[in-house]
Amino acid sequence: MQTQRGNTGFSGLGFCFWLMISGVALQTVDNMEGNMTASEETIRHSSSLCAGEQQYIDRRKEVVLQALNNLQINCNADLVPHIALVASGGGQRAAVSLIGFLYQLEKEAMLNTLLYIGGVSGSTWSMAFLYNDPQWSSNMDEAVSKLSGPGVELEHAVAWLAEQSKEECFSLTDIWGVLTSAGIMKQLDKRHLSEEASRNATNPYPIYCALEKHCFSHGPLQGKWFEVSPHEAGFTELNLFVETSLLGSKFHNGELIEKKPEMDMIRLQGVLGCALAHEEVIRDVIPPWLNVPIGDVTTEYLRLYNVLRNLITLTSSTIQDPTALSELEKLQKILDDDSVPDCLQTKEFHLIDAGLLINMAYPSFLGEKRDIDLIIAPESSAGIMFETLILARNYAAEVNKPFPQIDDKILEESNWPKDCYVFEGKEKEPTIIYMPLFNQQNCKDAEEVREKMKEFSTFHLPFSEEKINFLLETAKTNMKNNREIVLREMRKAALRRMRKMSG
């Protein structure tokens, strides 16, 4: 079946669904006719920003304008450049280095120039960590100090898991989520993402990214990328969204029938970072997280450790593919239009780690919807350097969205990259500032880059305080060393926005 880019055919259909996050089945109602207005209000099909995000961005632009003027970049409220920080995956390495990078941005008085922050996998852990504080962008010192703090009492984490284990949907998602939130990021974050929808515009607008598992495995690209914001969640290329606050609730003909709890940030972190959530990895993470001295095998230690082991065993016995992390989100609907991908015309769909497709959140920031002028891309991915750029370029070409030209000759530097590259956009393409974590400035050769990536492996969790501090300082230095380049590109972005808006 061929799909039509940018057109799912939803506008002419009346339909309803029961969308249940946390793995409860979505029920279909046979009578799909009528009440299209109500359905449109519940399920939004549009290539434009929703009203809530647009209002937030309008308020955020006032903050950005002041920050740019303070940096001697002159523009007015109607011509504020759209600047996004697009972060990579990479487990705790990515999570910690992103915080270090943002810390230095704040010290350089440049953090408030950001309109958006987007993340995948490990970088979403640090996003959740930061946004737990409504004023985080002015409290970066406190955020950094928390990374080396005492963390969460294990009893509290186990109590949360015990409650989740009573649910039908309990899975490795919950175990990995609590290990991520409490064990790695040092907080038990029970809030809901939709709560951020009512905040002021103190911080950049966050976009968390995931994939639809069935389309990722055997479907068209348009059905793969899924994004979650404080206001909406849905398919980036299909332009199909529901309100984030309603994820988990039951609908009929577009009307709310039964309100169900929204997934909390603990479980969301488990979903977004699920590429790591194999039983073997979790077993390796648990013992150091408990922080019990060698030889001090107490009864309490064994009790708590066995609780977690039993939960893992329980979960493993109920699923065959741990990376699927149970049935996160199921959707059953009646859609007759052939432009809807086959992979989504099923009784259920699953969300998994976006890093499995592109380990950087580029897709949510391409095209006219968010109309980004400048992407700042601190790169902490493992694997071949520049791979995320090449994959994003190919993605953009397939979905027919502008992307700056990438000279494949840079691949010759993949083993020992520079600390900063600029891929300049022209008219519709965003400019990308690409900044590898380990590079020619902090590693003497390609072998040292490989050794650093091995030392700070995605699968070596959790890091010691010494390693955390090293990553923080490395990311800070990368940003500090390239301040003038970033500032230059911000000026150029402002000029490009001016030319674009003037016709």
Query: How many percent of the chain have pLDDT more than 90?
Result: 49
Establish how many alpha carbons lie within 13 A of residue 170's alpha carbon, considering only the half-sphere containing its beta carbon. Answer: 18
For residue 246, what are the CA distances in angstroms to 201, 250, 262, 329, 387?
A: 22, 8, 7, 13, 36
Query: What pLDDT is recorded for position 251?
Result: 53
Q: Where do the domains of the chain lie, and which CATH numbers do they carry?
A: 10-148+188-272+322-496 (3.40.1090.10)
Q: What is the mean pLDDT of residues 477-488?
A: 98
| Residues 61-115 pLDDT 10s | 999 999 999 999 999 988 999 999 999 999 899 999 999 999 999 999 999 999 9
| Residues 7-51 pLDDT 10s | 322 222 222 222 333 332 233 233 333 333 434 457 788 999 999
Of 196-205, 238-247, 254-263, 444-453, least confident by mean pLDDT is 254-263
Helices then strands, counting H and E runs in the chain, come out as 15, 15
Query: What pLDDT is recorded for position 298?
Result: 40
DSSP state of 438: S
CA-closest candidate to residue 424, choices 401, 406, 410: 406
Of 241-245, 295-299, 328-332, 395-399, least confident by mean pLDDT is 328-332
What is the torsional sign of CA 158, 164, 165, 171? negative
| Residues 113-144 pLDDT 10s | 999 999 999 999 999 999 999 999 999 999 99
Look at 376 and 462; give whichever has higher pLDDT.
Answer: 376
Q: Is there a contact between 115 and 182 (Cβ–Cβ < 8 Å)? A: no
DSSP state of 207: E
| Residues 158-214 pLDDT 10s | 888 888 877 766 777 787 788 888 888 888 888 999 999 999 999 999 999 998 777
Look at 437 and 340; give whichever has higher pLDDT.
Answer: 437
Q: Is the pLDDT of residue 290 over 90?
A: no
